[in-house]
Amino acid sequence: MEVREKIKIATRNTSEVVVLSELAEILRGGEAKGYIGVEPSGLFHIGWLIWAQKVRDLLDVGIKMKVLEATWHAWINDKLGGDLEMIHKCADYVEHVLKAFGIDKGDIEYVKAEKLVNDSEYWRLVINIAKNLPLARVRRAITIMGRKESESILDFSKLIYPCMQVADIFYMDLDVCLGGMDQRKAHMLAREIAEKKGWKKPVAIHTPLLISLRPPISGESLDEVDLKMSKSKPETCIFVHDTPAEIEKKVESAYCPMKVIDMNPIIEICRYLLFAQPGFKLYVEREEKHGGDLYVESFDELVHLYSKGELHPQDLKRAVARALVKMLEAVRKYFESNKEAEELLKVMRSATITR
């Protein structure tokens, strides 16, 4: 595969690459190592499928990808009630979801956080990084945890988290860091420290964050933590295990104003998930008086039709719900046929309800 084609695959459906010339150099070279850190924190929602697809893309262009099962990070972040045993079960569950999505264990390396934290050299690296960061910078980076800066005072461990995340990158000697846009601050800290210390500077690839299904409240001051789809607000997100009826209900009630493209979660689902599938076409059923059925062949065509009012929100919602149901069918079938995965899903559903 030519470098130009590799770059196209590696950068599609991303928000930014820091920096593109460095990524091109990596792809021209020999073996490269990349990673994404995943907090095992509960049920897998469709927003996570964006980075899952990008993991597959990076594998396809020859980057050896690691998935860091950030169990200690989730513990610090009070996920699943801070129950480490439950967090570890969730890590196993996430592996099953990725396999169901077509990413097998043979393709990627899963690294448990325990492998890192059991090494004194890792903690030496954490302290080294902490000594090169002012407190104010660390507090501003708290948003990588899905928290607001003001929450850094909840307990002291929250301030350790950004230093650990930066240390993860250098400890594993990575060339590429993958994450959502909410992870940008950690990756930029890593690049700054690398330049200061003369270490290898990692390339950062950031994927978009899928926004919540709920409508923004007029006059509400929102940031990326408020806006993104979150499993902590199950009524505003779609889980990969939702039944077809649940998906249809959630999509039906989602914010989708007529002719509005920006900050429209249904449009974003089309852009980042549905039309990200090679060869995808959106089939829209409509009454003859509204123009009859049609196939929307590209996201650009969808934007044109919707912004002109030539496609009604209800018709779009029904089409998107059907497409999502079909997209997630393989995941549902996998968990129905795999006993271990099915049991882990039951545990995660119970944990989501009780915590």
Q: Is 132 exposed, middle or buried (0-12, 13-18, 19+ CB in 10 A)?
A: middle
| Residue listed under structure tokens 């990575």 | 174
pTM, to two decimals: 0.92
219 alpha carbon, distance to own chain's centre: 28
Closest CA to 352 of 83, 33, 3, 13: 83
pLDDT of residue 282: 97
The pair of structure tokens assigned to 231 is: 């499993």
Contact indicator for 74, 37 with CB cutoff of 8 Å: no
How many angstroms separate the Cα of 255 from the Cα of each of 11, 196, 212, 307?
A: 29, 45, 9, 15
Helices 48-60 and 3-11 cross at an angle (nearest 10°) of 170
pLDDT of residue 225: 61
Rounded to a whole number, what is the largest CA-CA distance in the chain?
Answer: 70
pLDDT of residue 236: 85
All domains of the chain in start order, with CATH: 3-207 (3.40.50.620), 224-239+243-327 (1.10.240.10)
Closest CA to 18 of 256, 204, 202: 204
pLDDT of residue 172: 97
Other residues' Cβ atoms within 10 Å of the Cβ of residue 307: 14
CA 20/CA 17 separation, integer angstroms: 6
pLDDT tens track for 276-308: 999 999 999 988 877 789 999 999 999 999 999
- Residues with Cβ < 8 Å from 268, sequence gap 6 or more? 208, 210, 211
pLDDT of residue 152: 59
pLDDT of residue 149: 67
The dihedral over CA atoms of 323, 329, 332, 336, expressed in degrees to the nearest 10, equals: 150
> Would you give per-residue pLDDT tens digits along the chain (355 residues)?
899 999 999 999 999 999 999 999 999 987 899 999 999 999 999 999 999 999 999 999 999 999 999 999 999 999 999 999 999 999 999 999 999 999 877 789 999 999 999 999 999 999 999 999 988 888 888 888 877 766 656 678 889 999 999 999 999 999 999 999 999 999 999 999 999 999 999 999 999 999 999 876 655 555 666 688 888 777 889 999 999 999 999 999 999 999 999 999 999 999 999 999 999 999 999 888 777 899 999 999 999 999 999 999 999 999 999 999 999 999 999 999 999 999 999 999 998 755 5
pLDDT of residue 17: 97
Closest CA to 252 of 240, 261, 265: 265
Contact indicator for 79, 42 with CB cutoff of 8 Å: yes
